[in-house]
Amino acid sequence: MHSLIKTLFVEKFNNPPLSKLTDSAVLKIDDRLLAFTTDTYVVKPLFFPGGDIGKLAVSGTVNDLSVMGAEPICISCGLVIEEGLDYRILERIIDSMERTAESAKVKVVTGDTKVVEKGKGDGLFINTSGIGIIRKSISMDDIKPGDKIIINGPVGEHGIAVLLARGELGLESEVKSDCAPLNGLISEVLKVTDNIKFMRDPTRGGLGTVLNEIVEGKGFGIMLEEDRIPLSNPVKGACELLGLDPLYIANEGKVVIVATPEDVQKILEVMRHHPLGKDAEIIGEIVSEPKGKVGMKTKSKGTRIVDMLVGEQLPRIC
Amino acid sequence: MHSLIKTLFVEKFNNPPLSKLTDSAVLKIDDRLLAFTTDTYVVKPLFFPGGDIGKLAVSGTVNDLSVMGAEPICISCGLVIEEGLDYRILERIIDSMERTAESAKVKVVTGDTKVVEKGKGDGLFINTSGIGIIRKSISMDDIKPGDKIIINGPVGEHGIAVLLARGELGLESEVKSDCAPLNGLISEVLKVTDNIKFMRDPTRGGLGTVLNEIVEGKGFGIMLEEDRIPLSNPVKGACELLGLDPLYIANEGKVVIVATPEDVQKILEVMRHHPLGKDAEIIGEIVSEPKGKVGMKTKSKGTRIVDMLVGEQLPRIC
């Protein structure tokens, strides 16, 4: 998929905002920098512990804007409805979108609905695109060894919650998706520091993929400390049973931050005072070796490489 | 569908830009007015005479911005790909999007791809959302009797081209979709007049639906002249054979304009000098009676009411 996006999108639609492949494109209109992003949600099932496709669609787009240092202003909503979808289901999902938008203080300002025949869709797909005003420009060009890596809480909850909600594995679990709009948390963080060098929400591909994207082709690497990475017991248990690595499982309410060591305690403090950041941790740092790689000091005092994920990630989780 | 959008979207996401139900939402950022729009394209088949889903997706979003008096700046592209879609088909469609975007001088700046299992999609769905800078605000509040109604060319071509391309009707025809980005034509028109009171692209529901939306609940009506409405012989023939009214057939390269009588000749002249407006015509005018209705002087010198369409429009044509 990554190669598909790179080849087709970047080569064909050759232009500077797109080729950066960040969460949002950055546009300059007059003297104002705007962030613009799009995501289509095809999650299956439509409802899962901790959320639903509507909450996910609003949160995901709000988060893609927020990690660019942007204040999300408005979003669009494009629905593809499979014929026969129960109107009450649609109503519940739109209600959920509305509640999530309200909690994130964004407005759904424009929409579109299309209906396809039974068997030509899968209940409901939702596209949300969003516009935000960039309040602080964040550039990963300044990342250097010694910078710290922070995450606002436990990893893997969204992917595991959705996977188990499909019921195909016959596993019972109390795992809930972490799906939530992070703009409130991020704006609190941006109030106390000007030294954030990178933010990203580790969705598809999880924490491991985002960290690899930070170091890919760079003159520095990352060293994680396994015992500092927040992980809930139910996610840990489910991953062990299913043979999955929680580092590659999708999150929908997490943000990875790279910041200067001087500001890390301030950031951590602000995060831990916010409901979506109470389990925030410093999980590692930028190191000069191994260059271009993500290493991890394991609980057993060894070191292993956390590679770019090869092959299929879990399908239809967002 | 109209009632679904009204009830669910407008009631739930209650906010001023959305409740206007125009083609794009209007946002004020600093002193700048921006237009923001979204559309998902589920047209079937993916390729049809005169275009394909990619050309359609770019044109449709460019047009939704343009009719708001906005200069389209950038668009997003969200793909839902059904597993098994031939990569060469995807490539042809992305190429077509790129060519259309280039011809319309807009950039595709952000994208997303999702893959769904075979039988859970239908080849390809494309969402395009777009941002434009509003150059001239157009308000239908000033519409009054005597204002003229202009269209830039023959109606019904897109809907008929797509319908026949499905091959289910066993009809051969030379009808080509009119699918095209109209921002060039519209910007030429806006150079010669400040007296445009309404613009809209008559897509789903066709010319008849757009005209009814203009007069709905208003203290004025519209009187059309049937013999002034541009209609090609192949569309006319297909409509007669299939029992369809071309006034309700979708267009994807047409714009309906309401303007003061003083400026109508200037507008017509500019349009007719543009390749997408050479068949432009004044098709009717705003009248004081019948209020809230669209009437039409027929070729046989009678008068009939062109009602709001009841029931299903052709499915999957955009």
pTM: 0.95
Q: A279 pLDDT band (50/70/90 cuts)?
A: very high
What would the pLDDT profile of A130-150 be if each residue is shown by its tens digit? 999 999 989 899 999 999 999
Per-residue pLDDT, A3:
66
Q: Residue B15: is its pLDDT beyond 80?
A: no
Q: Does B224 touch chain A if contact means CB atoms closer than 8 Å?
A: no
Of the partner residues B13, B125, B131, the one whose CB lies closest to the CB of residue A36: B131
Q: Does B316 touch chain A if contact means CB atoms closer than 8 Å?
A: yes
Contact: B36, A131; criterion CB under 8 Å: yes
Q: Provide mean pLDDT across the span A96-122.
A: 95
Q: Provide mean pLDDT across the span B216-222.
A: 97
CATH architecture assigned to A2-134? 2-Layer Sandwich (3.30)
From B80, which residue of chain A is nearest by alpha-carbon distance?
A40
Q: Does B35 touch chain A if contact means CB atoms closer than 8 Å?
A: no
Per-residue pLDDT, A130:
97
Per-residue pLDDT, A19:
61
Note which residues in 227-266 of chain A have CB less than 8 A from chain B.
Answer: none
Q: Does A112 touch chain B if contact means CB atoms closer than 8 Å?
A: yes
Contact: B110, A37; criterion CB under 8 Å: yes
Residue B53 has a CB neighbour count (10 Å cut-off) of 25
Q: Which residues of A touch B32 (CB under 8 A)?
A: 29-30, 32
From A21, which residue of chain B is nearest by alpha-carbon distance?
B110
The torsion region of residue B284 among left (phi > 0), alpha (psi -120 to 50) and beta comes to left
Contact: B107, A15; criterion CB under 8 Å: yes
Q: Residue B238: is its pLDDT beyond 80?
A: yes
Q: Which residues of B touch A42 (CB under 8 A)?
A: 80, 114, 116
Of the partner residues B30, B78, B131, the one whose CB lies closest to the CB of residue A32: B30
Q: Provide mean pLDDT across the span B242-265.
A: 97
Contact: B74, A17; criterion CB under 8 Å: yes
What would the pLDDT profile of B35-57 be if each residue is shown by its tens digit? 999 999 999 999 999 999 999 99
Q: Residue A267: is its pLDDT beyond 60?
A: yes
Contact: B109, A36; criterion CB under 8 Å: yes
Contact: A109, B15; criterion CB under 8 Å: yes
Contact: A115, B37; criterion CB under 8 Å: no
Q: Provide mean pLDDT across the span A251-270.
A: 98
Q: A36 pLDDT band (50/70/90 cuts)?
A: very high
> What is the three-class DSSP state of B140?
helix
Mean pLDDT across chain A? 93
Q: Does A120 touch chain B if contact means CB atoms closer than 8 Å?
A: yes
Per-residue pLDDT, B249:
96
Q: Which residues of B touch A103 (CB under 8 A)?
A: none
Per-residue pLDDT, B20:
60
Nearest Cα neighbor of B258 from B141, B178, B132 is: B141
Q: Does B43 touch chain A if contact means CB atoms closer than 8 Å?
A: no
Residue A16 one-letter amino acid: P
* CATH number assigned to the domain with residue range A140-305, chosen from the 4 options 3.20.20.140, 3.90.1150.10, 3.90.650.10, 3.30.465.10: 3.90.650.10
Q: How far is CA A76 from the centre of its chain?
A: 19
Q: B227 pLDDT band (50/70/90 cuts)?
A: very high
Unique residue bearing structure tokens 């950041």: A277
Higher pLDDT, A46 or A13: A46
Query: Sign (positive/negative) of CA torsion B59, B65, B66, B67?
Result: positive
DSSP class of A316: T
- Domains in chain B: boundaries: 2-134, 140-305
Q: Which two tokens stand for residue B198?
A: 């309404």
Per-residue pLDDT, B38:
96
Q: Provide mean pLDDT across the span B185-204.
A: 97
Note which residues in 54-93 of chain A have CB less than 8 A from chain B.
Answer: 73-74, 76-80, 90-91
Q: A8 pLDDT band (50/70/90 cuts)?
A: confident
Q: Provide mean pLDDT across the span A265-287.
A: 98
CB-CB contact of B209 with B90 (8 Å): no
Q: Provide mean pLDDT across the span A234-260.
A: 96
Q: B237 pLDDT band (50/70/90 cuts)?
A: very high
Of the partner residues B108, B112, B125, the one whose CB lies closest to the CB of residue A39: B112
Q: Which residues of B touch A39 (CB under 8 A)?
A: 78, 112
From A93, which residue of chain B is nearest by alpha-carbon distance?
B8
Q: Residue A10: is its pLDDT beyond 70?
A: yes
Burial code of B210-224, b = ≥16 C-beta within 10 A, e = fewer? bbbbbbeeeebbbbb
Contact: B13, A111; criterion CB under 8 Å: yes
CB pairs under 8 A between A and B: 199
Q: How far is CA B139 from the centre of its chain?
A: 18
What would the pLDDT profile of B290-299 be if each residue is shown by its tens digit? 999 999 999 9
> What is the three-class DSSP state of A293?
coil
From B87, which residue of chain A is nearest by alpha-carbon distance?
A4
Q: Provide mean pLDDT across the span A148-175.
A: 94
Q: Residue B2: is its pLDDT beyond 60?
A: no
How far A33 CA lies from chain B's nearest CA (Å)?
A: 11
Q: Which residues of B touch A131 (CB under 8 A)?
A: 27, 34, 36, 131
Q: A31 pLDDT band (50/70/90 cuts)?
A: confident
A19, A22, A112, A124: best mutation site toward chain B, by most B Cβ within 10 Å?
Answer: A112
Q: Provide mean pLDDT across the span A61-66.
A: 97
Range list of β-strands (E), chain A = 25-29, 32-41, 47-48, 51-52, 70-82, 107-116, 124-134, 148-151, 196-200, 221-225, 256-259, 281-287, 294-297, 303-305
DSSP class of B141: G
What would the pLDDT profile of B111-148 be if each residue is shown by its tens digit? 999 999 999 999 999 999 999 999 998 989 999 999 99
Q: Residue A20: is its pLDDT beyond 70?
A: no
Mean pLDDT across chain B? 93
From A122, which residue of chain B is nearest by alpha-carbon distance?
B120
Q: Residue B21: is its pLDDT beyond 70?
A: no
A1, A15, A109: best mutation site toward chain B, by most B Cβ within 10 Å?
Answer: A109
Q: How far is CA B199 from the centre of its chain?
A: 10
Q: Residue A188: is its pLDDT beyond 70?
A: yes
Q: Provide mean pLDDT across the span A63-73.
A: 97
